[in-house]
A = this chain, B = another copy of it.
Amino acid sequence: MIKYPTGQKSSEKKNSKEPVNFAGRGMNFEDEINRSNDYYREINKAIIYKKPTPIKVVGAHKTSTGSYQIDEAYFMQPSTTDYNGIYKGKYIDFEAKETRNVNLFPFANIHDNQLEHLFKVDEHGGIAFVLVRFTLKNTVYLLDAKVIKRLFEAKYRSIPLEIFQQEGHLVPPNYLAPVDYLKVVDQAYFD
């Protein structure tokens, strides 16, 4: 069994000027997926939403307008994935992640409870996958939960790019759906 390193190669450039991102991901990728989902809903192709970020509210007060303003709260670790919904009558569930690595995607980038959730969804007959953007090459792959599970259970510490290329699906960009992943879902799950 070949073990792949988790770390980032020293030849990669790190961008230290990235804006603070509370959700722990590059906002652009999330925005593009949200825009794609908006488009899918507009044309009535699928009903898929991003779940709100879980936040634990500790303190709040009533404002003069009668609504509540939160004064103290904390981001919580999500127990599930970010996106789910219905497509062609099927339950669909996925997580989206970015990496600046060139040749691999580290498992450390996804919480174990998110992986377990995806494996469960797959077990229950849903469509479950991860969308990974390799930022430096600007390529997005869809990788099915079954493939991820196989590598995870074989104690891989990261998913090599070749796995994405050979067993995953390259997601094409599209003007109206910037991350047109349903095109790839059609090939991967409905053909």
Task: Report which A residues bind B (CB closer than 8 A).
Answer: 22, 41, 44, 46-47, 49, 51-55, 57, 60, 67-76, 78-80, 84-93, 117, 120-121, 123-126
Contacts and interface: CB of A to CB of B under 8 A. Distances in A.
A71 B59 CA distance: 9
Given A52-B54, A69-B72, A74-B69, A47 B121 contact: yes
A54 B55 CA distance: 9
Given A51-B52, A80-B49, A126-B86, A57 B91 contact: no
Given A84-B84, A86-B124, 19 more contacts: A22-B60, A47-B117, A47-B124, A49-B80, A51-B51, A68-B75, A69-B72, A69-B73, A70-B72, A70-B75, A71-B72, A73-B73, A85-B91, A86-B91, A88-B124, A89-B91, A90-B91, A91-B91, A91-B126
A112 to B, nearest CB: 16
Contacts of A44: 120, 123
Given A86-B126, A91-B85, A124-B86, A70 B47 contact: no
A89 B22 contact: no
Given A47-B120, A86-B91, A117-B47, A55 B70 contact: yes
A150 to B, nearest CB: 20
Contacts of A22: 57, 60, 68
A54 B73 CA distance: 13
A151 B79 CA distance: 37
A11 to B, nearest CB: 28
18 contacts: A22-B68, A44-B123, A47-B120, A47-B121, A47-B124, A52-B55, A52-B76, A52-B78, A68-B74, A69-B74, A70-B70, A86-B93, A86-B125, A86-B126, A87-B124, A88-B124, A89-B91, A91-B126
